[in-house]
Amino acid sequence: MKPKTAMVLAAGLGKRMRPITDTIPKPLVKIAGKTLLDWGLDSLEATGVSKAVVNVHYLPEQIIAHVAGRRAPQIVISDEREALLESAGGIVRALPLLGSEPFYIINADTFWIDSGEPSLDRLALAWDAARMDILLMLTDLDSATGHCVGTDFLVAPDGALRRSNGDPAGLIYAGAAIIHPRIFKDAPTGSHSLNVYFDKAIAAGRLFGMAMRGRWITVGTPDAIPAAEAAVAGALAKAV
């Protein structure tokens, strides 16, 4: 069954995107006429998510005002303006809003154009709570635009993951996943990274991955915007 709830990680400072992010938060930077945040929220809406918890920290009022006009999914704000909690800390703070069932997580500063069946639908079909605590959406280097570092994971034949240490045969974490909240049992409440839980799941044999089909786009700096917009145009043309 598809998750009906999602966590959208939108609390980053976007320092590398300055000077644009001197006045707007990075999730509200527009690529091809749509904000980075809306690329993600539209994907969640299309897959049937009914509630998205969006965390905010930097220039939070702008994000809160921006999402106020959305009809779907329902937006719930997790306010982190008093302290930046990183990826996992933000999720732990929001757990009371996310419930006890598996939920999607997506980064608000990366997005993708699907080729064929939507990746979030495919992720839900691949999810197996009996075997998995976390299922990551992955992409290969050739399908990524704006990615400047190596790969993240090597994939076993059954989909189980281990760290690739940059091996070019590996795949990149594409900023979307399904995660079971049980992985956060006894989690600290302060600032910490999701990588802690990726490694915890690897050690237990419960971190899995699924390769997306399409074009994955990350936009780190202002000079990366033209390449991102060209990638969107190319991917949409192929999808027609």
Copy the structure tokens of residue 15: 């320092």
Q: Please give the pLDDT value at position 59.
A: 94
Q: Name the amino acid, one letter, at 178.
A: I
Rounded Cα–Cα distance for residues 72 and 25 (Å): 21
Strand, helix or coil at 90? helix
Query: What is the value of pTM for the model shown?
Result: 0.94
My answer on whether omega of the bond before 96 falls inside 30° of 0, hence cis, is: no
Assign 82 to helix, strand or coil.
coil
Full residue range of the structural domain in which residue 87 is found: 5-239
Return the beta strands (E) in the chain as ranges: 5-9, 30-31, 34-35, 51-56, 74-79, 103-107, 110-114, 134-139, 144-145, 153-155, 161-163, 172-179, 207-211, 214-218
Number of domains forming the structure of the chain: 1
- Report CA torsion sign: 25, 7, 119, 134: positive
Number of other CB atoms surrounding residue 226 within 10 Å: 10
For each of the chain's 240 residues, which pLDDT tens digit applies?
899 999 999 998 888 899 999 999 999 999 999 999 999 999 999 999 999 999 999 999 999 999 998 999 999 999 999 888 989 999 999 999 999 999 999 999 899 999 999 999 999 999 999 999 999 999 999 999 987 778 999 999 999 999 998 888 899 999 999 999 999 999 998 899 999 999 999 999 999 999 999 999 999 889 889 999 999 998 887 765
Q: Give the pLDDT score at 234.
A: 85
Asked if the bond preceding 19 is cis, omega within 30° of 0, the reply is: yes
Q: b vs e for 101-120, b when ≥16 Cβ sit within 10 Å of the residue's Cβ?
A: ebbbbbbbbbbbbbeeebbb
Instruction: Write the CATH number for 89.
Output: 3.90.550.10
* Cα-based angle 62, 222, 64 (whole degrees, multiple of 5): 10
pLDDT of residue 220: 86
